[in-house]
Structure 1
């Protein structure tokens, strides 16, 4: 596997469910080590797009290049996670080391210490033996970020990572994202807090079923683009036919 991220290229990418499109004809290129926010109205296809980047959704049309053979750390929305499973915080965080030990491997003393160090770095020292069901939303998200740290993947994908957590937790986790970016990782996050995007993400992709704009955040987050996104957005239609486009697969609009 590659140790460093490469460029990610979306070529005329159309995504959907049961062959019905939800995101249409997206073409763009993200350079290695980018720190990128994905924004758009509710239901605009943001989570659909990041699922495709994570390899959980195959294209209906077009291609997604640059991630094959690449180790990826993916954090889905917290709302979809079951916290009732009887497992300790340390055991959950240790899952981030499976790429080193395998599903049936045993953790060394050094690896267990790395789990504890990761928890300490996200402010959860002393929480190792607690059950997941005892954590607040912010504490659980911190633990998930500790697991991401141990995955040490060159590409990190996050779906609404700061939803329903307190302001201090948001600030701490945003600082961690900046450290990953400074280390050369490609970090892509679905976000809804536009002021947060302006303050912390140099690049933005705005979608509303289609690509509205992408590039430097100050150029993307304009009233004109947001109004266009609101106008373009429509509910996902389970009966929508697969659409076609004559757009060349190699075009990367800016």
Structure 2
């Protein structure tokens, strides 16, 4: 689906990553790991074309970028925005419908189904500022489900939430992958990566390693084991 050729990601012409060469195959499931400051989030934003690469090239199968769903870090979200859980989930319709197109009955039904899948159907009228961290993340996953995009990029999807919610959301990710989605996720838990992610991209200032999890993980010490039980 996506091929990187000597790609260097960064900001304002300042490189953050080492040159990257490799392919995210359609239907693959890849974890991006590495220490803080090695460019994991920067790479995701570059893949999304939210910022240009410092150098190198990104090419897409078929010649055009696939429709993508993005889950940013919780720290980047404005939790005081005056919106309800339903409003945020509805935002998943925007790429197809536009900002000013009305929602038909089937679109609303799709939103309610997504909220039910994440366990928030009874809170659909709740203001987002009143949600716990886990509820907020479930809401963002509902928006991902509504988007139904072939490419899903997740930036630290389990940061700041409890193990039970993390395990539940991991199952949703696996279900999306089983449905044919290409998953690329920034993670910090080697046990979780080992259990669920066949492919790993390790970013470091010295060198980048890309390949099967069993080959890459020994080069990077585990930082957490609290999610292993979700396997």
Q: Which of 111, 128, 132 in structure 2 is aligned with 1:132?
A: 128
Q: Provide the rounded CA distance (Å) in 2 between the counterparts of 1:87 and 1:197.
A: 34
Confirm whether residue 30 of structure 1 aligns to residue 24 of structure 2.
yes
Q: Is the 8 A contact 1:45 1:209 kept in 2?
A: no
When the two structures are superposed, what TM-score results if normalisation uses the length of structure 1?
0.83
Q: Whose radius of gyration is greater, 1 or 2?
A: 1
Tell me how large the CA RMSD over aligned residues is. Answer: 1.3
| Corresponding position: 1:62 with 2:56 | yes
Question: Unpaired segments of 5 or more residues in structure 2?
Answer: 222-231
Tell me which moved more, 87-96 or 66-75: 66-75
CA distance in 2, matches of 1:162, 1:226: 19
Match of 2:217 among 221, 233, 237: 221
Match of residue 160 from structure 2 = 164
Q: Which has the higher contact order (CA 8 A, sep 6+)?
A: 1
Aligned length: 219
C-alpha deviations, 1:209-250, integer Å up to 9, x for none? 46431111111100xx227xxxxxxxxxxxxxxxxxxxxxxx
CA contact (8 A) 2:18 2:208 kept: no
Following superposition, which runs of at least 4 residues in structure 1 exceed 2 angstroms of deviation?
A: 209-212
Give the TM-score taking structure 2 as reference length.
Answer: 0.91
Residue 36 of structure 2: aligned partner: 42
Would the aligned equivalents of 2:84 and 2:126 in 1 still touch at CA under 8 Å? yes
Secondary structure of the structure 2 residue equivalent to 1:192: coil
**Gap regions ≥5 residues in structure 1:** 1-6, 228-254
Q: Tell me if structure 1 keeps the 8 A contact 2:10–2:39.
A: no
Q: Give the superposition deviation at 1:100.
A: 2.9
Structure ranking higher in helix proportion? 2
1:101 positional shift: 2.0
- Alignment pair present for 1:19 and 2:8: no
